[in-house]
């Protein structure tokens, strides 16, 4: 079977597939115009890859199509600096399903996977997209917002561990303070790690401590001092206390490091975002604050040809549901195979728009009144917002709520409902939502 070629791609001198691993990669190669497949191994070191790439450049005087089972990662970033290599990332699920079609027994081997990748590249390249990196500023922002989320998740995990340790011997801390990951709790547990230590402290010392930690409510301070005075140890088992205390002090230091690190990353994100050419566009959307506006920019990037329609974003992000139909059976379910961080971005953004956009609030209230769950309504609202976001992004036009409401009215959607919490009213040539007067 001949290789399928797209109209916009160059004439490749060779086709190469890499099945990546931690230390050694297996490759399969076929030169253009040849039916012979060559195989080999490649050490995962910058020096080995450089020698290997130089050999390819000397042998093939033209671009080389490379398929690899990695959309981002160490191998992809190693290969991006070689101009003659045109990279085609293949989703791991795509390769797994392709493998299952030829090996239903579940057999898996690196050389056979490399050949399957090569087969995908040769015969189904019209289904693959060549890797086309966005601008350095945009990609840096994309990496930073994703890594910030991982740091936040790690801080949450360590805070949960801290709470579990405190349950064993000092559970009162969980009741006295709303946030266990706050600097106040960390400093308190560093100085007085047990209830016995804390009860020996004079009230004046505690007041001074709370003031230094920016706790200014005299009523709250006195309430906490009273609670400390009346507190009873949860256990007197020294084995539990002496084993948990050092762990708690380690955890509060880890949480403090993560908290400071997240603040540093936030400052880098803010600096990159405010100087980015797309800043005004993404900042214009309701609910797109300091955390979510950079994530929206990272979600879409600056390459307008990346998405041909809002529907592509719906499906790629997982906001659009999945239809399954077989015979007389048909049902729609939540899309699970998608970039989770991207879906989370649109989901969280939709939630924040409810209090900042009149039509979003009306839509949410109307859907909830029909008995739909909070999460289902947020997904439906995100679906609508993505359509608006896509059009503004494609046209490079900041969002204007009044303009959008006017467009809705021209299309006669939605129809006025005098019984709704909000209804349409014309004002200054535009239509807006107004609350029903009591």
In this predicted model, what pLDDT tens digit does every residue of 74-99 receive, in sequence order?
A: 888 889 889 899 999 988 888 888 88
Instruction: Give residue 386's pLDDT.
Output: 96
The answer to the question of residue 435 being in a domain is yes
Please answer whether residues 69 and 20 qualify as being in contact, where contact means their C-beta atoms are separated by less than 8 angstroms: yes
The answer to the question of residue 312 being in a domain is yes
User: Is the pTM of the predicted complex or chain greater than 0.85?
Assistant: no
How much of the chain exceeds pLDDT 90, in percent? 67
**Residue 5: pLDDT above 60?**
no
**Residue 312: pLDDT above 70?**
yes
**Total number of domains in the chain:** 4
Four-point Cα dihedral 196, 202, 207, 209, nearest 10: -60
Q: At what angle do helices 136-169 and 340-353 cross, to 10 degrees?
A: 80
Q: 371 and 321, same structural domain?
A: yes
Please answer whether residues 416 and 393 qualify as being in contact, where contact means their C-beta atoms are separated by less than 8 angstroms: no
Instruction: Give residue 430's pLDDT.
Output: 42
Instruction: Give residue 426's pLDDT.
Output: 45
pLDDT (average), residues 292-309:
94
Please answer whether residues 425 and 402 qualify as being in contact, where contact means their C-beta atoms are separated by less than 8 angstroms: no
Tokens 């974003």 label which residue? 313
Instruction: Give residue 431's pLDDT.
Output: 43
- Closest by CA to 221, choosing from 166, 177, 172, is 177
A 10 A CB-CB count for 182 gives 16
Please answer whether residues 149 and 157 qualify as being in contact, where contact means their C-beta atoms are separated by less than 8 angstroms: no
How much of the chain exceeds pLDDT 70, in percent? 92
Write the pLDDT tens digit of every residue in 238-296: 999 999 999 999 999 999 999 999 999 999 999 999 999 999 999 999 999 999 999 99
The answer to the question of residue 60 being in a domain is yes
Q: Of 14-18, 22-26, 311-315, which gets the smallest average pLDDT?
A: 22-26
Q: 75 and 185, same structural domain?
A: no
Please answer whether residues 68 and 17 qualify as being in contact, where contact means their C-beta atoms are separated by less than 8 angstroms: yes
**DSSP β-ladder status, 64-68 and 14-19:** parallel
CATH number of domain containing 245: 1.10.287
**Residue 433: pLDDT above 50?**
no
The answer to the question of residue 1 being in a domain is no
Q: 123 and 146, same structural domain?
A: no
Query: Structure tokens of 272?
Result: 């990159």
Q: Of 114-128, 151-165, 260-274, which gets the smallest average pLDDT?
A: 114-128
Q: How far is CA 148 from the centre of its chain?
A: 9
Write the pLDDT tens digit of every residue in 365-379: 999 999 999 999 999
Quote the domain boundaries for residue 39.
14-132
Average pLDDT, the chain: 88
Q: 190 and 169, same structural domain?
A: yes
The answer to the question of residue 390 being in a domain is yes
- More reliable by pLDDT, 102 or 274: 274
CATH number of domain containing 19: 3.30.420
Please answer whether residues 87 and 16 qualify as being in contact, where contact means their C-beta atoms are separated by less than 8 angstroms: no
Write the pLDDT tens digit of every residue in 29-50: 999 989 999 999 999 999 999 9
Band of residue 15 on the pLDDT scale cut at 50, 70, 90: very high
- Sequence-ordered alpha helix ranges (H) in 170-237: 172-176, 183-191, 195-199, 203-212, 218-230
């Amino acid at each position: 079977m001949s290789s399928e070629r797209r109209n916009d791609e160059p004439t490749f001198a060779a086709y190469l597939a890499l099945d990546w691993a931690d230390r050694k990669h297996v490759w399969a190669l076929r030169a253009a115009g040849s039916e012979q497949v060559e195989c080999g191994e490649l050490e995962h070191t910058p020096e080995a890859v450089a020698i290997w790439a130089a050999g390819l450049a000397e042998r093939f005087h033209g671009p080389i199509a490379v398929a690899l089972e990695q959309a981002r990662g160490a191998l992809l970033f190693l290969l991006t600096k070689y101009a003659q290599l045109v990279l085609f990332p293949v989703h791991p699920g795509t390769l797994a399903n392709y493998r299952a079609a030829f090996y239903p027994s579940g057999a898996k081997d690196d050389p056979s996977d490399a050949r399957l990748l090569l087969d995908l590249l040769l015969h189904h390249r019209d289904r693959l997209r060549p890797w086309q990196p966005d601008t350095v500023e945009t990609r840096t922002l994309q990496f930073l917002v994703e890594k910030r989320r991982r740091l936040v998740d790690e801080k949450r995990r360590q805070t949960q561990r801290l709470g579990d340790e405190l349950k064993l011997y000092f559970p009162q801390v969980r009741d006295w303070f709303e946030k266990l990951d706050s600097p106040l709790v960390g400093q308190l547990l560093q100085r007085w790690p047990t209830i016995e230590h804390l009860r020996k402290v004079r009230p004046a010392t505690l007041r001074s401590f709370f003031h230094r930690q920016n706790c200014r409510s005299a009523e709250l301070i006195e309430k906490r001092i009273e609670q400390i005075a009346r507190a009873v140890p949860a256990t007197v088992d020294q084995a539990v206390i002496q084993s948990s205390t050092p762990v708690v002090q380690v955890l509060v230091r880890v949480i403090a490091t993560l908290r400071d690190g997240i603040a540093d990353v936030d400052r880098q994100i803010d600096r990159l975002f405010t100087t980015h050419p797309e800043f005004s566009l993404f900042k214009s959307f309701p609910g797109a604050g300091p955390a979510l506006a950079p994530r929206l920019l990272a979600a879409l990037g600056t390459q307008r040809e990346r998405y041909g329609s809002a529907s592509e974003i719906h499906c790629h992000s997982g906001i659009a549901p999945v239809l399954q139909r077989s015979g007389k059976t048909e049902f729609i379910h939540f899309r699970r195979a998608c970039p989770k961080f991207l879906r989370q971005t649109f989901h969280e953004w939709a939630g924040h728009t409810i209090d900042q956009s009149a039509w979003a609030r009306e839509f949410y209230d109307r859907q909830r009144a029909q008995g739909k769950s909070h999460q289902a309504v947020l997904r439906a609202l995100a679906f609508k917002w993505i359509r608006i976001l896509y059009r503004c992004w494609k046209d490079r036009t900041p969002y204007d709520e009044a303009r959008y409401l006017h467009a809705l009215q021209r299309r006669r959607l939605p129809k006025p409902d005098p019984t709704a919490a909000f209804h349409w009213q014309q004002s200054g040539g535009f239509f807006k939502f107004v609350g029903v007067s009591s």
